[in-house]
Amino acid sequence: MGCPAEDSDATATAGSTGDVSGSPTTAEETSTDPSAETGTEATDATDDTTDPTTDPTTDPTSDTADGRVVACDAPGTMVWEGDVYIDDPADYALLDGHVEITGDIKIFEPAVDSLDFMACITEVGGNVQVFGTSVTDLAGLNNLTVLGGSLSISQNPNLVEVYGFDAITELSGAIIINENAALTGVFGFDGLLQMALGINIDENPVLTQIAGFDALVAVGTDASDAPNYPDISVAYNPELVSIAGLVGIQALGGQLVIQANPKLCISEVESLATMLMQWVQDGQGDTTGNNNGC
């Protein structure tokens, strides 16, 4: 099973169930260097395996009122050094007792139908990828406060909304939300101020709105990241009518591609472009294929 080409750093590697590279240590005993190399599997996770419970009365984001929130009932103390691969429900318990992952967390395969096992993880040093699962929401990620890499949400056919990332203020990678067949809305990034790489929201066939980036002012403005193409791409979303969540962006280090969204009014596209002076001055990007009649 392949992975989104836009985020090669977040590519899921299929393997045996519970395939992990890393070992847990307590937060007091380890550094959180994502490059730490270990080769043993977690064996000393906490004995408390209580499943997280949900609080449906709590609103996870200012943009959607019916989102589900997952509480962490048994906060962990351990740090998982290295990467974790989750491709089966039997793997959910691997992170019991943990609060942090120094490497990537790669969650894939249709057998994975919930992210609630992530409820006690507050920091991920690398990438978070959710690819080809059967999850209906991302509620298990709502306690993340630090994400050191990219967030990639692709080819999850039952996922209805993206929300719950309001506690993240800076992102060293990209946000990639592609090819999710049932996705109708992108919300819940209201705390994000700046990010090093780009935003790609492409080929989501029933997506109608992109909101929840109200505080975001800069995307990929660090010249050292230029080879990584810090673009904004919103393309080939046939039902998209609003990108209001992006209009506050003031600076962009790459290209602006708002293309082939036939129901998206060109006036809304232009309201975004006028705030991105580099794009306006240099003529970088593509805004063709949107609705020129409104």
Q: Any idea where the domains of the chain sit in the sequence?
A: 18-168, 184-294
Give the pLDDT band (50/70/90) at residue 272: confident
The residue that leads in pLDDT, 254 or 178, is 178
**Entry pTM:** 0.78
Q: Tens digit of pLDDT for each residue in 11-48?
A: 333 333 344 444 444 443 333 333 333 333 333 333 44
Instruction: Give residue 157's pLDDT.
Output: 98
For 126-136, b/e burial (b = at least 16 CB within 10 A) is bbbbbbbbebb
Query: Of 208, 149, 212, 217, which is closest to residue 184 (Cα–Cα)?
Result: 208
Residues 111-121 have a mean pLDDT of: 96
Instruction: Give the confidence band of 223 by pLDDT, cuts at 50, 70, 90.
Output: low
End-to-end CA distance of the chain: 41
Give the per-residue pLDDT at 229. Answer: 66
Biggest CA-to-CA distance, the chain: 62
What does the DSSP 8-state code read for residue 24? E
Which of 291, 285, 198 shows the shortest CA–CA distance to 239? 291
Length of the chain: 294
Fold annotation for 18-168: 24 nucleotide stem-loop, u2 snrnp hairpin iv. U2 a'; Chain A (3.80.20)
Rounded Cα distance, 222 and 232, in Å? 15
**199-202 and 175-178 beta bridge pairing:** parallel
Mean pLDDT value across the chain: 80
Q: Determine the Cα–Cα distance for residues 94 and 234; give it in Å rounded to an integer.
A: 36
Of the chain, the percentage scoring pLDDT greater than 70 comes to 72
Cα angle for residues 182, 91, 88 (degrees, 5° grid):
45
pLDDT of residue 2: 36
Higher pLDDT, 285 or 67: 285
Q: Which among 80, 115, 116 has a CA at the least distance from the CA of 97?
A: 80
Q: Are 71 and 52 within 8 A, CB to CB?
A: yes
Predicted confidence at residue 24, as pLDDT, reads 41
